[in-house]
Structure 1
Amino acid sequence: MNDLDKFLTKKLKEPGFKKEWDKLELRYICIKEFIKIRSTYNLSQAQLAEKLNATQSVISRVENGNVNISLDFLNKLARDFDKKVEIKLI
């Protein structure tokens, strides 16, 4: 378990934090997966932007959580790296 996971485990026990986390969890999961792809392939933001026909500033805003990732954009990321987006309602 990394430091972030330890921090989240502790903070999620706080009712106020948990309530806010639940509202934003899906966004954070998308950001985490987005960053994981870029890290796995050792790409700069500019290189990933070029591959996705976007700008480096778009990639930066996505990774910083300043914009919501559209399903179309997430799906393009997945397809370009031979991945699939999986959505489940549980």
Structure 2
Amino acid sequence: MTRPTFSDFKKKALKKPGVKREYDSLAATYRLRKQLIAIRTKAGLTQEELAEILHTKKSNISRLESVNSKISPKLSTIEEYAKAVGYEIEINFVPHEN
């Protein structure tokens, strides 16, 4: 018998309505954090360098980028972050998939 993979575990877990609902509710947060990291690294900046530009602590940048963080950043914070790495924000609304 083969050992189950993470993909197998995830498929099985997402069949449970409560797990699926929670997973879906976190999807936008995960996408945002992933994008923040991507634009910072594309700009060639470390968390320390970005913190210096934004006049904040590295720990604040780390917390902002962390998928495990419980903070919900203000739009103005995300705008400042984007501007510091050479980007601007564009917000799009898409229909919810049922």
What interval of TM-score do these two structures reach, taking the shorter chain for normalisation? Answer: 0.7 to 0.9
CA RMSD of aligned residues (A): 2.3
Name the TM-score, length of structure 1 as normaliser: 0.72
Unaligned runs of 5+ in 2: 1-6
Structure with higher helix content: 1
Q: Is the CA contact 2:43–2:86 (under 8 Å) kept in the aligned structure 1?
A: no
The number of residue pairs the alignment matches comes to: 83
> Following TM superposition, by how much is the alpha carbon of 1:69 offset from its aligned partner in structure 2, in angstroms?
2.1
Are 1:77 and 2:85 matched, yes or no? no
Are 1:30 and 2:32 matched, yes or no? yes
Structure possessing the higher radius of gyration over alpha carbons: 2
Unaligned runs of 5+ in 1: 1-6
Aligned equivalents of 1:23 and 1:58: distance in 2? Answer: 23
Alignment of 1:10-21 (within 5 A): 11=11, 14=15, 15-21=17-23
Name the TM-score, length of structure 2 as normaliser: 0.68
Aligned equivalents of 1:43 and 1:20: distance in 2? Answer: 33
Q: Among the aligned pairs, what percent are the same residue?
A: 34
> Following TM superposition, by how much is the alpha carbon of 1:75 offset from its aligned partner in structure 2, in angstroms?
0.7
